[in-house]
Amino acid sequence: MFATRAEKYYKSDIIFEIDDIFFRDSLSLSIPRFVKIVYDKSYKNTATLLEYIVQFGISGELNVWQLDEGKILDFRNLEPSNDKAAVQSYIMGKNLVEEKGKEDEAITALNNAIEKYDRHAQAYERRAKVNFILKKYHDAFRDYKKSLGYDPNNPYAYFGRATAYTQQEQFEEAIEDLSMAIKKSVALQAIHWKARKLKGRLHLKLEQYNEAEFELKLFTNRNFPKDNPNYMYKREGFFEYGQVLLNLEKFDLAVEAFEKSIDFEEGFDKIKDSEKLRYRGLAKQKAGQNGYIKDIKDAAEMGDKEAANILKAIA
């Protein structure tokens, strides 16, 4: 079908050669990370043809972007959505994963997908997430391992397993998986930045400040649109970046990071304003800037006990 359509509909104006992306041994279509300057028509022909071809598949995912000087002109997330039983069960399970209280139904649907096609890497990854939510950690690790065994290029499985490792306080293992999630994704994907953010936090926890600085600097410098899930974690990212800079004795930059954490309008972080003020005050003091006593005093008045102790020491 690919060969026929490429010739008949698109006059062979397609980016890929058939032998480069189809693999008879695994009965699969596989495209590694690929970047090329092409004509607009060639891109649209290829993207439309791939959109059609993936519907012959059972599992997998292709992400396709058209960029012009960094601006996204077109994006397509291509997955099978045909009427095959395994496909429909997976789609149902994937949607139920996002609904609170529907975990058992999600497990049942994903089980059905796996029974119909036992190499369904994405179904294993989604089932692993549900098992993690249900605190069935052994089952979650088993499913992540299965998923990565069938698809070692899935950044979501690496990130999910890293989250499970983090919950078990196996931070080194988590960092290894986060490195793979970053490697197997691109900066245009939200999962890429989620992995960098968590990796930076874990380096901070392990007092690996140079590594933490690298990840959190990239994260905080990134401009996320409001509909990007990373946007709501930017405020927390600035706070963690400020802690890293404070430990690296880059005090002026730490003050800036804490200020951005305080000023950023919204976010999911649960860090108290009093704690942010205390840290900004300490950074100002170390940087030799004015106003540090006010920050610490305001933090103390908001109930921060550490700030109150610092005020006594200053007095």
Q: Where are the alpha helices (DSSP H) in 135-272?
A: 137-150, 155-167, 171-183, 190-205, 209-221, 234-247, 251-263
Backbone angles phi, psi at 66, to 5 degrees: -115, 125
Rounded to whole angstroms, the Cα distance separating 271 from 100 reads 25
For residues 227 and 54, what is the distance between their CA atoms, to the nearest angstrom? 27
Enumerate the domain spans of the chain: 2-78
pLDDT in tens, 53-91: 999 999 999 999 999 998 999 999 999 999 999 999 999
- pTM for the full predicted model: 0.94
Contacts of 64 (CB under 8 A, 6+ apart): 46, 47, 50, 74, 75, 76, 78
pLDDT (tens digit per residue) in 152-164: 999 999 999 999 9
Give the C-alpha separation, 84 to 93, whole Å: 14
State the Cα–Cα distance between residues 265 and 261, nearest whole angstrom: 9
**Tens place of pLDDT for every residue, the chain, 315 residues?**
999 999 999 999 999 999 999 999 989 999 989 999 999 999 999 999 999 999 999 999 999 999 999 899 999 999 999 999 999 999 999 999 999 999 999 999 999 999 999 999 999 999 999 999 999 999 999 999 999 999 999 999 999 999 999 999 999 999 999 999 999 999 999 999 999 999 999 999 999 999 999 999 999 999 999 999 999 999 999 999 999 999 999 999 999 999 999 999 899 999 999 999 999 999 999 999 999 999 999 999 999 999 999 999 987
Q: What's the CA gap between 53 and 59, in Å, rounded? A: 12
